[in-house]
A and B are shown apart, each in its own frame.
Chain A
Amino acid sequence: MIRILFMLLWLPLLSGFNKSLTSGPVVFKTTKGSVSLVSDAPLEVIKADSKELRGVIDTSNHTFAFTVAIVSFKGFNSPLQREHFQENYMESHLYPVATFTGKIIESVSFSKNGIYEVRAKGVLSVHGVKQERIIKGKVEVTSTGIVLNSEFKVVLEDHEIKIPRIVHQKIAPEISIIIEALLLPETR
């Protein structure tokens, strides 16, 4: 009986995450990451977020890919504002997703728990316009998975997102983006 209990206690450690970490390259995934956006303009502050950030990090080569559906953003100050965001500014019917794909510049030991300040370099595609970006973030390797945190800005003009002059005082030219995600291991 004691032997069985002992084996049951060790089972989680012998499988999944810990096994994958010690046995070589592993892919980490999320489908429930959070993307928050804040527009802080002189006359109005607009906040919205999506809990449907999907992403993957391949620790074997430090590459990553993230995507979020534009229609998944909720919040805003009114339903009409959300409609304008979706249809007029982001044109989600033409450009349904925003993506960021690339690689992590800094060396990260994904087999060792710790916090790493990193730069993610890649192509950020918003509104169908691609921009090469280097985005700073924090990677925390835990016994559960990888916790990702990042804050950066998206300049609307860079992605050809046109704001009518009449609402210039209500929508900031630079939108603050906050990313939070827990990526769990998935053995290949």
Chain B
Amino acid sequence: MRVYFKLPFLLSILLITAVSGLQAQIPFFKSVQVSKTGVPLKINGICQDNDKFIWLATTDGLYRYSGGGFEKIVLKETTEPADVSSIAPLPDGGVIFGNRKGGIFKFLNGVVRAIPTGSLVVHSSIGGIAVSPQHEIFVALQGQGLLKIAGDKIENFTTQDGLPDNYLYDVAIDPKGNLWIGSDGGLTKWSGLESKNAFQNFTTVNGLPDNIVRRIDASAENSIGIGTEEGGFVIYYPGTNTFFIPEFFREWSKGSITSILKLENEYWIGTQRDGIVDYEFKGYKRTRQFTKNLGFEGVLVNCMLKDHEGNIWIGSGVNCTCRLERKLNSNGNLMEHN
């Protein structure tokens, strides 16, 4: 009789342990209110500067998180930066950001300055910004090609210089110093940033699932994560010059890929209307979705960031909804910033 009691008890313990183990592997998300006034806003970009401040580019301007909450940065110097579309940290501190009207600005030591673009009148929305270790600034212009700012030298590259299209969505610099560009004409690699006419273009002919490349993650040594408009997520391996589409994305029909975050063994892929896809290319080699069970269903995931302390920040927004999520640590405690 005692044996009959013990067996279910032991099985229950085993089951609880197993379930607890599974739950520990699932990230827990917590919403963080950005606007204290309830202004409807959409988060377009996110970054962390050298001082560990988290910055948000939003349709309501710039916001900064300093530990206690978000504060809107009121820019007295100019009225231009509303509807900030892109943001990136600067190597020596501060941030650079651009807006939908084509304005490009630098925020450093509490002062905002418009960055001059020479003879080029930028009227396109700023799609993406990348800053090289040599302080060269690359700006993806949605309609006017690529803008390169190196000190006082300003250059504009368009289809006449070899770009496949002038509508650029994103730019990223890989660890080897190559610039990667996503546009309506596919993926473009620019080897040797000083070389003007060395654009190498990749399209569906080369294995891309779609010629509209919206997002690029070039943070890995030997692979480039690419998010497309309709073809889902694909990884490009420069070493073998091959594109690999994970199985989950081979029949993709859930809109464009809006953000990519490369982690140690996985990619988090933000989607237009289906939350986040977690693709593990090492370890479990599985694909999971963070959707309605974690509050992401139907939510556009615009941008993601892993900060210096390991938290993952997710900027999203649909209409009046705006949420910023932080990952909890393994003990279930909110990981605070200092």
Q: Which of A105, A106, A121 lies at the interface centre, i.e. has the most chain B CB atoms within 10 A of its CB?
A: A105
Interface residue A97 (Cβ < 8 Å from any Cβ of B): no
Interface residue B212 (Cβ < 8 Å from any Cβ of A): yes
Query: A residues 100-124 with Cβ under 8 Å of B?
Result: 103, 105-106, 119, 121
Q: Which residues of A contact B229 (CB under 8 A)?
A: 134
> Chain B binding site: helix, strand, loop or mixed by DSSP?
loop
Q: Which residues of A contact B167 (CB under 8 A)?
A: 121
Distance of A169 Cα from B211 Cα, bound (Å): 40
Q: Which residues of A contact B217 (CB under 8 A)?
A: none
> Chain A binding site: helix, strand, loop or mixed by DSSP?
strand
Distance of A43 Cα from B305 Cα, bound (Å): 47
A106 nearest CB neighbor, chain B only:
B211
Interface residue B184 (Cβ < 8 Å from any Cβ of A): yes
Q: How large is the interface on A (under 10, 10 to 19, 20 to 34, 35 or more residues)?
A: under 10
B169 to chain A minimum Cβ distance, whole angstroms, is: 11
Q: Which residues of B contact A105 (CB under 8 A)?
A: 184, 211-212
Distance of A12 Cα from B50 Cα, bound (Å): 70
Q: Which residues of B contact A103 (CB under 8 A)?
A: 184
Q: Which residues of B contact A121 (CB under 8 A)?
A: 167, 184, 212
Q: Which residues of B contact A106 (CB under 8 A)?
A: 211
Distance of A103 Cα from B165 Cα, bound (Å): 11
Q: Which residues of B contact A134 (CB under 8 A)?
A: 212, 229
Q: Which residues of A contact B211 (CB under 8 A)?
A: 105-106
B256 nearest CB neighbor, chain A only:
A134
Distance of A119 Cα from B167 Cα, bound (Å): 15
Query: A residues 75-132 with Cβ under 8 Å of B?
Result: 103, 105-106, 119, 121
Distance of A103 Cα from B211 Cα, bound (Å): 14
A105 nearest CB neighbor, chain B only:
B184
Query: B residues 193-224 with Cβ under 8 Å of A?
Result: 211-212
B281 to chain A minimum Cβ distance, whole angstroms, is: 29
A78 to chain B minimum Cβ distance, whole angstroms, is: 33
Contact with A along B161-188 (1 / 0, CB 8 A): 0000001000000000000000010000
B20 to chain A minimum Cβ distance, whole angstroms, is: 44
Q: Which residues of A contact B184 (CB under 8 A)?
A: 103, 105, 121
B25 to chain A minimum Cβ distance, whole angstroms, is: 37
Distance of A106 Cα from B184 Cα, bound (Å): 9
Distance of A103 Cα from B229 Cα, bound (Å): 16
A132 to chain B minimum Cβ distance, whole angstroms, is: 9
A103 nearest CB neighbor, chain B only:
B184
Q: Which residues of B contact A119 (CB under 8 A)?
A: 212
A121 nearest CB neighbor, chain B only:
B184
A134 nearest CB neighbor, chain B only:
B229
A136 nearest CB neighbor, chain B only:
B230
Query: B residues 228-275 with Cβ under 8 Å of A?
Result: 229
Distance of A19 Cα from B229 Cα, bound (Å): 37
B104 to chain A minimum Cβ distance, whole angstroms, is: 20
B215 to chain A minimum Cβ distance, whole angstroms, is: 16
Distance of A65 Cα from B337 Cα, bound (Å): 51
A105 to chain B minimum Cβ distance, whole angstroms, is: 6
Distance of A105 Cα from B164 Cα, bound (Å): 11
B166 to chain A minimum Cβ distance, whole angstroms, is: 10
A147 to chain B minimum Cβ distance, whole angstroms, is: 24
Distance of A105 Cα from B184 Cα, bound (Å): 7
B99 to chain A minimum Cβ distance, whole angstroms, is: 15
Distance of A83 Cα from B212 Cα, bound (Å): 41
Distance of A141 Cα from B229 Cα, bound (Å): 26
B139 to chain A minimum Cβ distance, whole angstroms, is: 19
What would 11 A/B residue contacts be, using CB atoms closer than 8 Å?
A: A103-B184, A105-B184, A105-B211, A105-B212, A106-B211, A119-B212, A121-B167, A121-B184, A121-B212, A134-B212, A134-B229
Return the 7 tightest CB-CB contacts between A and B, nearest first: A105-B184, A105-B212, A105-B211, A121-B184, A134-B229, A103-B184, A106-B211
B positions within 8 Å CB-CB of A: 167, 184, 211-212, 229
A positions within 8 Å CB-CB of B: 103, 105-106, 119, 121, 134
9 more A-B residue pairs beyond the given contacts A106-B211, A121-B167, with a C-beta to C-beta distance below 8 A: A103-B184, A105-B184, A105-B211, A105-B212, A119-B212, A121-B184, A121-B212, A134-B212, A134-B229
